[in-house]
Every structure is written in C-alpha cells, then in structure tokens.
A and B are shown apart, each in its own frame.
Chain A
Amino acid sequence: MEKQSLSKYLTWLLGAVVGVLVLWRIITVGVAEGYPTSFWISQGINGLVLGGVYALVALGYTLVYGILFMINFAHGEVMMLGGITGFFALQFATAQGWMDGSTTVVVAALLFILVTGMLGSVATGVALERLAYRPLRRAPRLVPLISAIGASLFLQYSVLLIFGVTPHSYRKPDLISGGIRAGNVFIPYTGLIIFLASVLMMLGLYLIIQRTKLGRAMRAVAEDKDTASLMGVNVDGVIVATFVLGSALAGAAGVMLGFHNTVVKFNSGFIPGLKAFTAAVLGGIGNIPGAMFGALILGMIEAMGPSALGIPTQYKDIIAFSVLVLILIFRPSGIFGEILSEKKA
C-alpha cells in the first residue's frame, strides 16, 4: 500500500474538479460557439508555429538542466538578446539594400541575420555561464537560482538602458510576407519557415547528442560529473558547449519570434522564456524529445485555448502559467518522464 495522505487526496480532488470545470467550459462555450473547422485548423497551425519556437528555447532549458540540475532562469533573456542582435543585423542588411534584392540575396540576408542573432545569444549564454553560474557550481540549490534571477533582471534592464525603451521593429521583407491559402485556412510564410527551421535544428541537436563525441561527453557529464572528469572528459568544456548549443537555438528562436511578432523589446524574453520552461517541464525536464513535444502541445493549447474556453485572448498567458502549475503539481516528471541518470537502486 502506497503512502496515503490527506494532502494527496485533496490535491487529486482539486485536480479532478479543475479538470471537470475545464471540460465543461470547453463543451458549453467553445464547442457551442460553433467556430468553423477552418478556424480551428488555423489556430492549430498557429499553435504548431508557436510550438516550434518554444521548442527551440525549451531545448536550451532542458539541456542545461540535464547537465547542471539548475534552471537557467535567464535563458529567456538569452533568446531576447538573439532577437536584438538579429535586429541590428536586419538594420545593417536593410541599409545595404539586401532586403530588397533578388530572392537569393534576401535569403542570404535572412541567413546572415539568423546567424548573427545566434552568435549574439551564444555570447550572452557563455558569459552567463562563466560569470554567474560557474563560481556557484558547488553551492546549495538556492544560490545559483537567485544568481540566475539576478542575471535575468540584469540583462533585461541593461538592454533597456543601452538600447532604449522603444520597441525594435522587425520589418518583414516582401519575400516572406504573405502566405499560402488553402480554402479558408491561411498559413503565413513566416510560420512555415519557422516550423521547418525548428524541426531541422532539433534534428541537428538530436544527432549531435546521439552521434558525436561531444554528445557522448554531454551525456556522460549529465550522468555523473565527477566520474566523467575522472574518465578524461573536460567537464568545463562540455558545460560551455551545452550552453553554446542551447543559446544558439534560443538565438534562432529570438530572431524568428522577432519576424513573427514584428517587434522585439527588452522584456520580449521573459514571458516566452517562462512558457518555454513550461514546455520543457511538460515534456519532462532533461528529456530532449520530450521538450519538443511538450512545446508543440503547449503551443497548441495556447493558440486554441482561449477560443475553446471562451475567454478573451489576453488570458492566454494565464493559460500557460496554469498549465505549468498544474503539471508541477500533478505530474512533475512530465508527460514523457525525465530521462536523467537511471534511477540509482
């Protein structure tokens, strides 16, 4: 007989009540509202696109957690800095006239912007690790977490001061404005590109982790840092590499989100960061495929949720928060379970 406790009963009772309420609301309002299927498909596609972006950031969280067992609170800001760096690259490209050139030129310019953004994020991530986290590796749990919170705030408000308070607008080149029409459903080009790019990058990451020497080293360090170093693995190097990979992905996400939302600000990283973290936990923190699926699921919930529940779209952030809280309460190991070291018997 497992441990029975009053609080566990109460929690599950609460959860059941919430679940029933949500379902009831969806049925009576969302379904009753009678949105056309095309609407749901559009929203679903929106969700997938969002999910793709979240996935890129969620992977960063999951990677760092898998190796250092810490939540990189400032990861959202790493993403934001990618967006900011990308913005300047965009300004530069526009000034050079690349954004109005032929298709090849525009594509090259976009790649240039993407890469610059990724570099900006990588620089931030590496600096973060070196300055705010490495000195605290052996400290008790609370300490690096507080340092991370401090780092997050520091980055946000430094960007505010240095780059000013006006939001930076990402002007989409004509090439990628617009989209495909399929019946009543509209798929924006940016959405397509983001989704495809996300999938490609995730595949790339997966290959790196599973097939390369670095990936092996990363898995070793995640399993047991000290033993790995005794086996000759350069633990510090691996950790930096992890931050580099995670930050690069986040940077890409930052640029893509910039184009998708047409704007990037100093606090553009905070909420998406939290949502990406939710996605990582949803899928099972430390679990790479889990993070991807968790992100897609979360994206869909966020896109379709408000309409399904019949509440105004401003509440979509509450939905994401609530998912996080609910998951951590009822299934903290995530849908797919954590893949950390095998449970030590």
Chain B
Amino acid sequence: MNKGLTTGLIAFGSLTYLILTGVPIRLAQAALPVLAVLAALFFSLMLRRQGRESSSSELLASGLTAGVVAGLLTTAEVWLFSSLLGNGIKVQPIFDKIVPLNMAALLGVRAGAIIKGEVALGQYALIAIYLAAAGLAGSLLVLFTRSGAAARLRGVRIPGGRWLTIVLPFVLFAYIYYLGLSGVTAFGNNRNIVRLLIVLVATGTGLFALRAAQEGLVQLVTGALLAAALLSLPFILNQFQNSVMSIVFIFVMMGLGLNIVVGYAGLLDLGYVAFFAIGAYVYAFVSAPFSSPYISSLLAGMGISPDAPLLGYWSAIPLAIITAAIGGILLGIPVLRLRGDYLAIVTLGFGEIIRLFLLNLDELTNGPRGLLRIAQPTIFGAAPPDLTSHLDAQGWIFLLAIFGSAVVAFVAIRLNDSRLGRAWVAMREDEDVAQATGVHLVQTKLLAFAIGAICAGLAGQLYAARQINIFPENFTLFVSIDALSLIIVGGMGSIPGVVLGALALKGLPEVLRGVDEYRIIVFAALLIVMMIVRPEGILPSARRRRELHSQLGAIPVPAPDEGPLDEEIEGGRS
C-alpha cells in the first residue's frame, strides 16, 4: 500500500513536470492516452521490485492506489490551472507553458472552452479514470511478466531469428529505393522525413545485422552488401536528407576519435570541440584566405593573391593532421598528471578558451563574422556534384564522410589490437601498475590525445567544407557534449556503438524537428538514465560490458582516490 502511495506521488510529480514543460501541447488530442500509457509503463517498472514479494492482490492494490493517487492529484492540478485560466488569470508569467492549449489537450476539449470556463466536471474526472486504469494496467503487466505465460514467451525461439536480423536492413533499403521512385505517393507531404527516418533505422539495423552475422563468410558478405547499400544512398537521397546523413557521419568520425581518447585511454576530454575547430579553421584559412584580414594582408605582403585557395581539400589534409596533432599534444602536456574529474574540467576550460579566442581574435578569424566561401573538395579539379546530376553537394560530403568514417574506424580497429591499444587499456584500468609494467605514461597519453585530435581535425575539415561558412558559434561546448553522448549512449569502446549513437543522437533529432525544444532535455535525461541503467551503452564492446558489469569473483582493490593527482599507491601494511 505504502509503495503504491509513493509510486503515485512520484508519478504525479513526473506528470506535473511534463505538464509544466508543455508536453501535452505537442501531443494535442493524443495527450491523455499517451500520458496514460507512459504512466502504466512507469507503474509497472516501479512495481516490479515489489512484484517479487507480494501476492497478486497486493500488487493490484498497489497499482490501483498509485493510479488513483496520481490521478486525483493530477486532476486537481489541471482543474486548478484551468479555473485560473478560465477566470482570465494569466499563469504564463510564472509557468510559461500553462496556457489554455495545454489544458485543452489534456481534457480533450477545445482551447476556447478553457478560456470560457465551460468544461464539464466529467471531463476532469476522465483524467483520474485514465490514470487509475494505468495503475491497474501497470500491475497487470507486472503480473503477466511474472506469470508462466511470459516465461514461455521468453523461451520461445523465433526460428531463423538470426537471419531475420540480417535480412531486415536490406528490406528497409529496398523500401527506401522504392520511396524514391517517381510516382510513389505514400506518406504524402511527409514522405521525405519518413524516408530519412527509414534510412536511419536501416543503417542502425545494419549494425545489428553485422553483429548477428557473427564471424566468417556470412559477416563478410553481409558487410560488403551493407557497404554497397550505404554508398548508394548519397546518389538517391535529396539535399536535405543528404545533409542530415553527412552530419551524422561527420559525427561518427568525431565519436570514433573521441572513443580513442575516452573509451580506449580513459581520458575524459570535454574540450574535444577544440580540435574540431582547429581542423575547420585551418582548412578555412587555406581555402578562403580572403576571409581573414590578417592572412589576406600577410599573403598580399608576400606577393600572393589571397583571392584563390592556397591548398585544395586533399592537399590540406596533411596540414589538418599536423595542426590537430600539435593541438592535441599541447593540450595533453599540462594535463598529464590530472585525473578524472579534474581532467574533464580543464579540458572543458580549454575548449571554451579556444572558442573565446576564435570569437575575439578578429584579425585572424574574422570573429563572429566568420570565415566564408570555403571551397568544396574536388577530384582532379572538378567537384563531382558539378559533373553529375545524381549527386548533389551535400551528397558529395556525405560520401566523403562515409570514407572518412571508414578510415578512422580502420585506424581505431588496428590500434585496438596492438601494443599501444593494450597499453591504453592497462593505463585506463590502473595507471600505476601500467607504468610499473613498462608503459611510458607520458608518451601513451599524448599519443591518445594526438590521435584523437587528428580524427577531430579531419572531421572539422570536412565540416568546414560542408558548411561553406563557419562561425565561432558552430564550435560550442555542445559539440563536445554531443560527441561524448554518442559514445555513451551508443556504446563506449565499440565502433558499431558509435555509429548507432550518431544515428540516434544526430539523425533522429532532425527527423523529430518539431520537438526541438526538448532535444537537450531528452539528451540530458538520457545521459543520467543511461549511466544508471546501462553505463556501457547500447552496443558496447565486449570488454566494456565486462568491465562495467562484472561483479562475480572480483576481488575489491582499494583505488587510490584522493585529490586531483594520482597519488602514489599505498605502501600497504608491510
């Protein structure tokens, strides 16, 4: 009973949060049913723990209590707000989203009715009823999962389940082709968005397919076919869809690079955007020298015209690599002795400092006005989008991003299984012992920073080409957080995980454009929830999952845990 009460209160609190942030407005008439379903799921989760010890009737009672409590409280709240609004009192100065539309959505009436105060009491009661039902449904769900029927379901093996997973992405790809054919009118105006969504899902399922294919010939063939499908996409998607996919894969490059720093070497770098910015700005300097006052005058002084690019995209790559690597080493040197949280804060500080410099060193970077008219990558002097109508500018970038991701992934895979890769893992696990086992800490850490920086620099260069105009505001802290979230949600230490993360966190928000306001909140909540529930991510590397979940047989070792520096290990008691 008690548990039901608390659960109901927590549910009420969460519902209040959703109401205050305006979620019902977005859901319109579907608000109440959707919230009720969410509530039911929530109740079942909360009651699951109780489910083990209680009898069915106790469970149902708890569920009902929870639902009733939540229902009554929420109804009262909605009634309160509606009355205020109906009496012409503006709640908005305090709670921005408490407007008639919000209440109307919950009550299933029109906004006008709220304003006029013409809502029948029965309508309010509907909320309580829905939520009470949700409470019951929640406990029923728990009972079901406890029951024999559920156990039998879990034991059922879908014949050919593995093959289903493997074939699924191809089915989806076929559908994508289909939707691109002229004359197809499915989904009407939403067709492009839906098609993009399916592209994202198809790529995602492709990852699972690769995993299901396991090792051997099957995996090779599946991989080759998936690669072909992926490479064909830039040619069949439209400009907008290509632009989304190009940013997704640029972030795959970022994620893979950050994965090396954070996932392999265990160095929490929150200033990763700095290297992204270096790559972008350096390419912009050589590609559009006329944009930068300082560089223009410098070149003019040397007798070189600043109006044409100094270097093409491909020739600028070594430059990007070198400057990014130097940046990585410069960042790495001062932070070598710092640990965990302190490393994170300092790197965050560096990232911000770089951005502030970009903003304020007007002479060099043109400040907030940005660097403009950056050149596109060309092959033998010609840009493919100009040569064929099948490939637009964004598609070209998308294609390059796929290659870039493949290169970075290749490097990551090779390093993972090498002396350096093992040194990184050892260092991450136990720095002192790693050093005592022969790992040169300074070198190993700097290599991680440098290689990670190079990946970000390359991604930045491609990003500059994509954007054509870059501004300091493109390189905020959020880029670093995005990249980090990718790894965390997708799966730390694993390449498919990073791709999945990029698809989910960079691709989906584009599809769900309408809920832009909530993007960061959902992100943030996702971070917290993932840490609690599944810190290793959705598709982690096998090693990570073991690390974060292995409790059996683990002999607890006291961790040297004081201060920002790695202190010497305890001398023990001998």
A and B touch in the complex (CB under 8 A): yes
Q: Which residues on A are within 8 Å of B, measured CB to CB? A: 5-7, 10-11, 14, 69-71, 88, 91, 131-132, 135-136, 139-147, 149-154, 157-158, 161-165, 277, 281, 285, 314-315, 317-318, 321-322, 324-325, 328-329, 332-333, 338, 340-341, 343-345
Q: Which of B502-556 contact A (CB under 8 A)?
A: 517-518, 520-521, 523-528, 531-532, 535, 547-548
Contact call A147/B528, Cβ cutoff below 8 A: yes
Chain B contacts of A341 at CB under 8 A?
A: 562
* B79 at the binding interface (Cβ < 8 Å): no
Add 17 more A-B contacts to A151-B528, A165-B96 (CB < 8 A).
A14-B334, A88-B94, A143-B531, A147-B528, A150-B526, A153-B481, A154-B525, A158-B521, A161-B21, A321-B353, A322-B349, A325-B334, A325-B349, A325-B353, A329-B346, A333-B563, A333-B564
- Bound-state CA distance A163–B98 (Å) is 10
Q: Given A7-B442, A140-B548, does the pair A161, B334 have CB atoms closer than 8 Å? A: no
| A145/B22 contact (C-beta < 8 A), A154-B524, A324-B346, A340-B562 known | no
Give every chain B residue within 8 A of A318 (Cβ-Cβ): 353, 356
A281 / chain B contacts, CB cutoff of 8 Å:
342, 564
Whole-angstrom distance between the alpha carbons of A139 and B488 in the complex? 15
**Residue B317, interface by CB 8 Å:** no
On chain B, the residues within 8 Å of A140 by CB distance are 547-548
How far is the CB of A319 from the nearest CB of chain B, in Å? 11
A-B contact pairs, 7 of them (CB 8 A): A71-B341, A147-B528, A147-B531, A161-B97, A329-B334, A329-B346, A333-B565
Number of A-B residue pairs having CB atoms within 8 Å of each other in the complex? 148
Interface residues of A, dominant DSSP: helix
* Structural contact, B565 and A136, CB atoms closer than 8 A: no
Q: What is the bound-complex CA distance between A145 and B340, given in angstroms?
A: 9
A314 proximity list for chain B (CB < 8 A): 360
CA separation between A152 and B481, bound complex, in Å? 12
List the B side residues contacting A88 at CB < 8 Å.
Answer: 94
- Given contacts A149-B527, A158-B21, whether A324 and B532 have CB atoms under 8 Å apart is no
CB of B362 closer than 8 Å to a CB of A: no
Across the interface, do B333 and A132 meet the contact criterion of CB distance under 8 Å?
no
- CB of A4, distance to nearest CB on chain B (Å): 12
B268 interface residue (CB < 8 Å to A): yes
Cβ-defined contact, B527 with A162, below 8 A = no
Known: A71-B345, A318-B353, A325-B350. A147 touches B517 (CB 8 A): no
Q: Which of A6, A328, A344 contacts B564 (CB 8 A)?
A: A328
CB neighbours (8 Å) of B346 from chain A are 324-325, 328-329
Contacting pair A136 B531 (CB below 8 A): yes
Contacts of A145 in B (CB 8 A): 268, 340-341, 344
Q: Which of A14, A154, A325, A338 contacts B521 (CB 8 A)?
A: A154
Chain B 79-104 near chain A by CB (<8 Å), digits 1 or 0 = 00000000000001011110000000
B342 touching A328 by the CB < 8 A rule? yes
Closest 5 A/B residue pairs (Cβ) = A150-B527, A164-B96, A154-B524, A153-B524, A332-B564
B471-494 interface (Cβ within 8 A of A):
481, 484, 488
Per the 8 Å Cβ criterion, residues 36-68 of B in contact with A are none
Q: Is the CB of A150 within 8 A of B96?
A: no
A141 touches B562 (CB 8 A): no
Q: How far is the CB of B351 from chain A (nearest CB, A)?
A: 10
Report the minimum CB–CB distance from B260 to chain A (whole Å): 15
CB distance A162 to B337 under 8 Å? no
Cβ of B333 and Cβ of A328 under 8 Å apart?
no
Report B325-367 CB contacts with A as 1/0, cut-off 8 Å.
Answer: 0000000011111111110111001101100100010000000
> Is there a chain A Cβ closer than 8 Å to B215's Cβ?
no
Are the CB atoms of A144 and B531 closer together than 8 Å?
Answer: yes
Q: Spell out B's residues near A (CB within 8 Å).
A: 17, 20-22, 92, 94-97, 262, 266, 268, 270, 333-342, 344-346, 349-350, 352-353, 356, 360, 442, 481, 484, 488, 517-518, 520-521, 523-528, 531-532, 535, 547-548, 561-565, 567, 570-571
Tell me the nearest residue of chain B to A128, going by C-beta.
B528
State the CA gap A302–B334 with chains docked (Å).
23
Task: Name the residue of chain A whose CB is nearest to the CB of B13.
Answer: A127
- Bound-state Cα–Cα, A88 to B336, Å: 46
Residues of B within 8 A of A165 (CB): 96
Q: Tell which of B342, B523, B531 touches A139, judged by Cβ atoms closer than 8 Å.
A: B531
| Least CB distance, A287 to chain B, in whole angstroms | 11
Q: How far does the alpha carbon of A151 sit from the alpha carbon of B339 in the complex, in Å?
A: 22
| Closest chain A residue to B551, Cβ basis | A138
Contact B349 A324 (CB under 8 A): yes
Q: A140-B548, A164-B96, A329-B335 are in contact. Are A146 and B521 (CB under 8 A)?
A: no
Q: How far is the CA of A173 from the CA of B17 in the complex (A)?
A: 33
Partner of B336 from the list A7, A143, A161, A340 (CB cut-off 8 Å) is A7
- Nearest to A333 among chain B residues (CB) is B563
List chain B residues, Cβ under 8 A from A151.
524, 528
How distant is the Cα of A91 from the Cα of B91 in the complex, in angstroms? 13
A338-B562 contact given A141-B341, A161-B97, A325-B349, CB 8 Å threshold: yes
Query: How many angstroms between the C-alpha atoms of A120 and B340 in the bound complex?
Result: 30
Partner of A150, one of B266, B518, B524, B561: B524
**Quick one: which of A149, A164, A277, A318 has the most chain B CB within 10 A?**
A149
Bound together, the chains give a CA A141 to CA B561 distance in angstroms of: 10
- Chain A residues, Cβ within 8 Å of B22: 161
Q: Which residues from chain A contact B339 at a C-beta distance below 8 Å?
A: 141
CA distance A149 to B20 in the complex (A): 23
A141 to B344 alpha-carbon distance, docked (Å): 11
Query: B residues within 8 A CB of A333?
Result: 563-565
Set of chain A residues within 8 Å of B335, measured between Cβ atoms: 328-329
CB A154 to nearest CB in B, in angstroms, measures 4
Q: In the assembled complex, which residues on chain A have CB atoms less than 8 Å from the CB atom of B535?
A: 139, 143
The answer, among A91, A157, A285, A340, for a CB contact under 8 Å with B520, is A157
Bound form: Cα–Cα A5–B441 in Å: 11
Q: A145-B340, A162-B96, A321-B352 are in contact. Are A332 and B520 (CB under 8 A)?
A: no
B160 to chain A minimum Cβ distance, whole angstroms, is 38
Contact B488 A163 (CB under 8 A): no
Is A163 a contact partner of B94 (Cβ separation < 8 A)? Answer: yes
Task: Give Cα A88–Cα B528 distance, bound, in whole angstroms.
Answer: 29
Q: Tell me the complex Cα distance, A153–B268, Å.
A: 18
**How far apart are the CA atoms of A88 and B349 in the complex, in Å?**
33
* Identity of the chain B residue whose Cβ is nearest the Cβ of A277 in the assembled complex: B345
A150 with B564: CB separation less than 8 A: no
Cα distance A342–B338 in the bound complex, in angstroms? 20
Q: A7-B442, A145-B344, A158-B17 are in contact. Are A164 and B92 (CB under 8 A)?
A: yes
| Contact residues in A for B270 (Cβ distance below 8 Å) | 149
If A132-B528, A141-B341, A333-B564 touch, does A11 touch B442 (CB 8 Å cutoff)?
A: no
Cα-based distance from A7 to B449 in the complex (angstroms): 15
With the chains together, A344 CA to B562 CA distance in Å? Answer: 10
- Per the bound structure, the CA–CA distance linking A157 and B22 in Å amounts to 13
Output the least CB separation between B363 and chain A (Å). Answer: 15
| Inter-subunit contact B334/A157 (CB<8 Å) | no
From A136, A141, A163, A321, B340 is in contact (CB under 8 Å) with: A141
A143 to B337, CA, bound (A): 20
CA distance A321 to B353 in the complex (A): 8
CB < 8 Å neighbour of A142 from B17, B92, B340, B353: B340
In this complex, which of B345, B531, B535 has the most chain A Cβ atoms within 10 angstroms of its Cβ? B531
Q: List B contacts of A132 (CB < 8 A).
A: 528
A residues near B571, Cβ cutoff 8 Å: 345
State whether A344 and B532 are in contact (beta carbons under 8 Å apart), knowing that A142-B268, A163-B96 are contacts in the complex. Answer: no
**Contact indicator A7/B333 (Cβ below 8 Å):** yes
| Contact residues in A for B344 (Cβ distance below 8 Å) | 145
**Residues of chain B within 8 A of A154, CB atoms compared:** 521, 524-525, 528
**In the complex, A5→B571 CA distance in Å?**
24
Question: Among the interface residues A131, A140, A152, which one has the most CB atoms of the partner chain B within 10 A?
Answer: A140
B42 to chain A, nearest CB (A): 14
Q: Which chain B positions have C-beta within 8 A of A143?
A: 531, 535
